[in-house]
Chain A
C-alpha cells in the first residue's frame, strides 16, 4: 500500500503524514463520545485543538516549542485530578486523550509515530469494549486504513530522505505549506487509488468470510490440546442397545482423567460408574420413563439431595477437612452427560451445582446436557466397597406423585417393578426360570450367593470375545436369551444382560451399570487415564437390606462382594511412554485452571495484606519518630558547638555539590566508571563526539570555527595521548554549550 507521489517533496510527505496522524487522533478521540457517562471535556478540548491545528497549520507551525513542553508537564496535574477521584477507567481514558493530543501534534521519530498509533488504538479498543456498539467496528475500520497509510508514508518518507526523516526540521516543512488543497492538487492519485482498492478488497474478503463461513463453536474447536477434533462419543445415554457400549472399544482417546490426591491406596481395578439402567425390552436396557422424568425434574437438583442421602454433601467448594482424600475428575467434552464416580462418597464438589441433576435411585449424577467443554468435579472420602446405597422408590413417589399418576401408560411397568422386568415372550421366560432354578438348586438363597453362582454359571458356559454372532431366531425371540442358551462367546454386555435376566427370573432385583472399568495409570503426573476403549457394562443386584452390590459377570473379574482388593499408590505401574507424557501436560493444565479451592487463595491474599500493613505501620512509626527527633533537635537551645557542627555539615554538603563543577565527570559517571570498560574520559568524549556528529547532520549550515575546535579537542580526548590532553572539564563544558 503505497501512497507515494513523485511530485511530493520530503516536506510535503511530512505534512501529509502529519495530517493523517491528526485524523487518526480525531477518530480515536471521537470514539469517546460513544460513552454516555464519560467526561467530555478532555475529548472536546483535544478535538478542538487538533481541528484548529489542521485548519490553521501556519499557527501551529509557529507555536513556540515551549508551549508543548508546558503542555506535556501539565498532563500530570490534569490526570492526578482524575486519579484523586478514584475512578480508574475514566482516569485512564483521560490520560490517553491528553497523551494523544500531545503526541498527534508532536511526532518526529519513528518510535513517536508508533506511540501515536498505539495510543489511538488503545483508546479505540477501550471505548469499543465499553460500548460494544456497531459504530466501533466502523471506527476501527477507518482507523486501520489511516494507520496503515500513516505508517507507510512514514516508511516512504524514511527512504526518500535517505534515513534522515527523523531530523526533518518541522519549521522547514511548514514553511512551504500553501494550504491542504494545493497539497492535494499536487498529489498523484494513482498510488492512492491502488492502495485504497487493495484495502477495500481486503475488507471485502474479510466481510465475505464473516458472512458466509459457517459459525463454529470456537470453544469446542479451538482446544489447546485436543488437536484431533472431537468426534461425537456416544455410548452413554439413557438407553443402551446391545453392542452399543462395545462399539466404542476401538476408540483409544482419553475420555476421563482422574487425579487422586491425598490417597495412599486405590482400588486395584476401579469401576467408574456412570449410570444404571433398569427397564428391559428386547435386548436393550434403558432408564424407566418415571426415573427419566425424575431426572429432568426440578426436584432432582443436588440441593434436594439431603432427602435421599443423610450423610452426603453437595457443594461448590471443597470441604475444609484436610484428612479426606480427594478424587478430581476431568471429563472430556462430548463423552456423556452422566458423570463417572468411583463409588459412594461424602462430598461432591462442582462449581455450578445448578447444572447438576441427581438420580438417587440409580445413584447417578448427570449434567443438564452433554457438555461441550471439559467438566471437572471432585469427590471426597470415596468408598471403595463395591456397593452403593439404595434409595427406596417410595421417596421418589412422594415427590413427583402428581406427574407419575398423570401418566396413563399401563402397558409398561413402573419403577421399581422395572427392576424385575423380563423378556416379553413366554419361551424366553420359561428358559430363564429353568436356568435360574438350576443355579439356585430350588432352595432359597440370598442375593450374594446367587450372584456368585450365576457369574460362575455364565463363565462356565460362555467365553469372552469381541467378535460375536447371535444364534438364529427359533422359538425364543429375545436376543439375550438366545445367546444365553447357546455356547457362543460374548462380550461384557451379553454377560451383564444375561446375568440381569437370570437374577430377575430368580426374583432378585437387579440393574445394568454402564461406565468404565480400569484405566491406565499415568506415571508422569500420577493420575488415571481412562480411555473410551475402557467402556464396560456390569450389574448391580439388590441385597434386600438397602445396598446394591456390584457384580461383574464378565469372565476375569472379581467375584461379587469380595473385599475389593486395593493397591498402594506408589506401587502402581503406569504408562510412561511419550503419549502418556503428552497427556500428562494436559493434566498439568487442568490442575492449573481448575481451582476448587478459592479459600486458600483468599487466605494468602489476607496474609499478604496483613504483612504489608504491619510493615507499613512500622515504617510510618519510624518516619514520625525521625521527624520528631529532627524537630526536637532544631527547637532545642543552640550552643556554639551545635552551631559549628551545623554550619560545617552544611558547608561540606554544599562543597560536595559544588565540587562536581570542578570535575570532568559528574558523580554518576564517576560512580559508574569502575563498572565499565575503558577510560571514562575517553568514553564521555566519544559520547559527545557521536552527539556532535548527529547535530552536524541535522544542521548542515556552516559550523562556526570554535565548534570545530571543540570537536578536535574532543577527538584528542578520545584518541590522543593522555599526556597531551587538554583539560577535560573545560572541553566538556564547551562541548555541552555547543551541542
Chain B
C-alpha cells in the first residue's frame, strides 16, 4: 500500500472504523482471561480454607481464647495523636491560615481566584458584560461558519445552496470574527481599561451602548448581504458594502470620542501606555476605513494598492495595536508587578506606526503594482522586527521573578501563548514578505495558516486572557477551572493541528508549482493536509463551546448556595414566630 492510498481520507476513516470493533474484541478477550484466572484462584483458596478448618478443629478452647485476646490487644493499639502537639487546643492568633478548599477530590489544581473590585459602576459593568456576550455570540457564529468552510475542502458537495457556497461564506467567516468577535471583545476590555487607568468615570455610558448596537447591527446586516451575494467587489476584509461599513465606522467614532473625553478628565498626570495604544488604534481604524472606502483613488491598480494597505493596516493597526494596549494593562495587573520597561513600550509604539504602515503591499509582491512600492513593503516588513522584539522582550521580562505565578493562574497561560505567537507569528510575516520566500508561499494555503497563527494565536488568546481576568471582577463569579482548562488546551492543540500540516503541505505545493507541474497535482497533494486542517478546526470550534459555557457561568445570575454566607444570613435574620414555637 503506497503513501497516497494511506492518506486517502476515506481509507483513514475506514481504518479508524475498523479499529473500533478490533479494540472492542481485545477488551472482551482480556475480560474473559481475567475471569478464568479468578476461577482458578477461587479453587485454590477453597482448598486452603479446608486445611485451616482442619487445623482449628484440633486446637483446645483455652489455647484458642488466649491467642485471640492477645492478638486483639495488638491490633487495637493506637497512638494518641498528641505525642508531638501536646494537649493544648490549637489557635491561629495571627490569621495565617486560609482554608477554602471545597471538600472532595480535586480534579484540577486550584488556581488563584479573581479579586473582587466592588468600586466599579454597576452600569458600566453591565455595558462591558454585554460587549463580551455579543463578542462570544459572534465567535460562535463566525467559527461555526469557518469550521464548515474547512469541511468543504474535504467534502465540496456537502451542500448545493447558493447562500452557503464557499465563495459567499468565506467572507462571512472572516468579517464576523473580525468585526463581530475580536472588535467587540477588544472594545469591551477597552471600556474597562480606559476609565480605570485614567482613574475617573467613563465620560458617556450611552455612547458605549450605541457603539455596541451599531457594530452588532453592521455585522448582522453585512453577513446577510454577503450570503445573498451582495459584496463590495472582492477585496479581503473589505467585502461589506459601504453602507454597512459606515455603521461600523460611526460606532467606533462614538467610542473614540468617549475614550478621549474620559482621558481628558483623567486624575492622573501621565497617560498610561495602554491608553496610547487603544486610542491610537481607534483613530487609525477610522482613517483606514475612510481611505479604503472613498472612491477617488480606486480605479485600476489604485484599488489594489489601497487593498494591500487596508487589509494589513486593519490587522496591524486595529487588532494588534488595540490588543497590545490591553496586554500592557492586564498582564502587569495579573502578575501584580509593573511592566518591565515603559520606554520599550514607547519604542514599540512609534516603531509599530513607522514600519507597519509601510507593509501593506507585501500581499502583492510580483504583481503589476510598482516595483519600488513592493520593495518599500518588504523593507517595512523587515523593520517590524524592532517593535515585535521590543514588545516580546517587555512582556517576557515582566514575567521575570513571577514565573511561578503561571502555575496558579488560569489567565497567565493564555497570555503566555499570546506572547509566544506574537513573536513567532509576526516574524513569520516578515519572513513571508521576502521575495525568495514569497515565491514559494504566495497564493498557497500558507497565508491562511499564517493568518490563523496571528489572528487566533495572538489576538484571540490575549482577548480570552483579558475576558477571564476582567469578567469575574464585574460579576463576582468565576468559571469552573476544568472547563477553562478544556478551552485552553483544545484551542492550543487545535491551532497547532490546523496550522502545521497546512504550512507543510503548502510548502510542498509551492515547490510543485515552481516545478511547473500541472495545477491539479497541487490539489491532490493538499487533500490530506486539508483533512488535518478540518480536524484542527473542529478542536478549535469545540474549545469555543467551552468558552461560551464559561462566559455563561461567569455572568449567570443563578446563585449557588454558599455555606458560610448562608449560615451568617440565617444567624442575622430576625427570629420568626415559627422557629420560636419549634
Q: Do A and B bind each other?
A: no
